[in-house]
Amino acid sequence: MPRPQEPRIAVFGGSFDPVHNGHLFLAGEIVRRGMVDEVLFVPAANPPHKLGRRLTSAQHRHQMLIDATKPFAKFSVSDIELNRGSEPSYTISTLEMIARVFPDHEMWFLMGMDSLVDLHIWHRAGELANRFNFLVYPRPGVEPPSLGTLSAQFGARIARKLRDAILDLGSLPISSSDVREHCRARDSLAGLVPASVGQYLAEHNLYDLD
């Protein structure tokens, strides 16, 4: 795992199938605004909520992240979840491991609004919400859960903590599914992914036969 160079890190988890400019914009924005000093991208091997969909190989997704983040000194990539074999990628297990490796760093988990809506059904959700800090970015068409809903799921104190974690920032209207669809249609990827990722997709003919 790369050692963070700064004291405050955001762990950005996801399938990144593939990484796109929206991911990079969000990571850059929280660094620019001084919320964290560094963003650690952690691609998931077997995210439990996506077990019904075949993911692109971990090797491809990991390499695209490395290529995409290379120009940014405040971004790094970890393969911590890719070495678990067939074991599901539970967020709390990953955060526990990172916290043990870097006990002197402050840590936040960066996730989308759709993840906050479903957080109560995640593995060890109550413990996860209680022990770790969050940054929640908006997703198009996804309304934030109400304080009452979160209170019923996690209790009043954690509900307020999660509501306060919601970020007031814009986002690029891009999704990984958009990129895959453009690849299948052989449309231009300009503006959707970094040039290095577009080149990688073309060289390996990814997503054309999804």
Structure tokens at 44: 């998931």
153 burial type by CB count under 10 A (0-12 exposed, 13-18 middle, 19+ buried): middle
The pLDDT of 108-117, averaged and rounded, is 96
- For every residue of 21-82, DSSP letters joined together read HHHHHHHHHHHHTTS-SEEEEEE-SS-GGGTTSPPPPHHHHHHHHHHHHTT-TTEEE--TTT
Residue 193 lies inside a defined structural domain of this protein: no
Domain that holds residue 150: 8-173
Domain annotation covers residue 51: yes
Helix (H) or strand (E) holding 106: strand 106-112
CATH, residue 14:
3.40.50.620
* pLDDT number for residue 210: 46
User: Letter for the amino acid at 148?
Assistant: G
Would the pLDDT of 82 be above 60?
Answer: yes
Confirm whether 197 is domain-assigned. no
pTM above 0.75, yes or no: yes
pLDDT tens column, 171-183: 888 999 999 999 9
178 HSE (CA, 13 A, CB side) = 14
Asked whether residue 2 is domain-assigned, the answer is no
Total number of domains in the chain: 1
Q: Is the bond preceding residue 173 a cis peptide, omega within 30 degrees?
A: no
47 lies in a domain? yes
pLDDT single digits (tens) 139-187: 888 999 999 999 999 999 999 999 999 999 888 889 999 999 999 999 9
Domain membership flag for residue 96 = yes
The reply to whether 208 falls in a domain is no
Has residue 194 been placed in a domain?
no
